Amino acid sequence: MSKEIEDHRILNRSSNEPFSSILQKHVSRRGIMQGGLGIAAMSVLGGFGLAGCSDIEDDDDAQTGGLPEKTALALAFEAIAGSKTDAVVVPEGYTAQILVPWGTPLNNMAPEWDPNQKMTSTAQANSVGMQHDGMYHFPLDEANASSDFLLAMNNEYIDESALWFLQGGQTNLISGARPAEEVRTEINAHGVTIVRVQKKADGTWAHVPNSPYNRRITTATTTELAGPVAGTEYAVTAYSPNGTLTRGTNNNCASGYTPWGTYLTCEENWPEVFVKHSDRYSDDDRLGIPYLDSEDNPARSRYAWETAAGASDENQGEFARFNATPSAADASGDYRNEPRTFGYIVEIDPYTNARAIKRTALGRFRHEGCWPGKLVEGEPVVFYSGHDSRNEYIYKFVSDAVWDSADANQAGGNYDRLAIGHKYMDQGTLYVAKFNADGTGEWLPLTPNTQTPNGQTLASALGLAADDLAGIIIHTCDAADLMGATPMDRPEWGAVDPVSGEVYMTLTNNTDRTAEGTDPTFNNGDSIDDLGAGYASAPVNSPNPRADNEAGQIIRWREPSSDETTFEWEVFVFGAAAGDTDNLSGLTELNQFASPDGLWYDDRGDGEGILWIETDNGYDEVTDYTNDQVLAVVPSSVSLGEGDAAVIDPSDQAQLKRFAVGPNGCEVTGIFATPDKTALFINIQHPGNWPADPSALVQDATQATSGTVRPRASTVVIQKADGGQIGV
Residue 105, phi then psi, degrees to nearest 5? -70, 135
User: 52-61, 364-373, 616-625: which range is least confident on average?
Assistant: 52-61
Report which residue type is found at 375.
Answer: L
65 band by pLDDT with thresholds 50, 70 and 90: very low
Q: What is the DSSP letter of 43?
A: I
Q: What was the pLDDT predicted at 323?
A: 97
Report which residue type is found at 74.
Answer: A
**Does residue 630 contact residue 668 with C-beta atoms inside 8 Å?**
yes
pLDDT per residue over 16-36, tens digit each? 776 777 777 777 645 433 333
First-to-last C-alpha distance (Å) of the chain: 30
Q: How many CB atoms lie within 10 A of CB 655?
A: 17
Q: What is the DSSP letter of 666?
A: -
Ramachandran assignment for 695, one of left (phi > 0), alpha (psi -120 to 50 degrees), beta (any other): alpha
Ramachandran assignment for 686, one of left (phi > 0), alpha (psi -120 to 50 degrees), beta (any other): left
Maximum distance among all Cα pairs of the chain, rounded to whole angstroms? 75
How far is residue 439's CA from residue 553's CA, in Å, rounded to a whole number? 16
pLDDT per residue over 105-151, tens digit each? 999 999 999 999 999 999 999 999 999 999 999 999 999 999 999 99
Q: What was the pLDDT predicted at 31?
A: 43
**Does residue 132 contact residue 116 with C-beta atoms inside 8 Å?**
no
**Does residue 344 contact residue 366 with C-beta atoms inside 8 Å?**
no
How far is residue 535's CA from residue 21's CA, in Å, rounded to a whole number? 14
pLDDT per residue over 207-216, tens digit each? 999 999 999 9
15 band by pLDDT with thresholds 50, 70 and 90: low
56 band by pLDDT with thresholds 50, 70 and 90: very low
Half-sphere exposure of 282 (CA within 13 A, CB side): 21
Proportion of the chain above pLDDT 70, given as a percent: 90
**Does residue 668 contact residue 686 with C-beta atoms inside 8 Å?**
no
Contacts of 363 (CB under 8 A, 6+ apart): 344, 345, 385, 395, 397, 430, 446, 473, 476
289 band by pLDDT with thresholds 50, 70 and 90: very high
CA 208-214-215 angle, to 5 degrees, is 155
| Average confidence (pLDDT) over 550-571 | 92
Contacts of 415 (CB under 8 A, 6+ apart): none
Q: What is the DSSP letter of 339?
A: G
Going 628 to 633 to 639 to 641, the CA torsion angle's sign is negative
- For residue 192, the Cα-to-chain-centroid distance in whole angstroms is 14
Q: What is the DSSP letter of 130?
A: S
Q: What is the DSSP letter of 323?
A: B
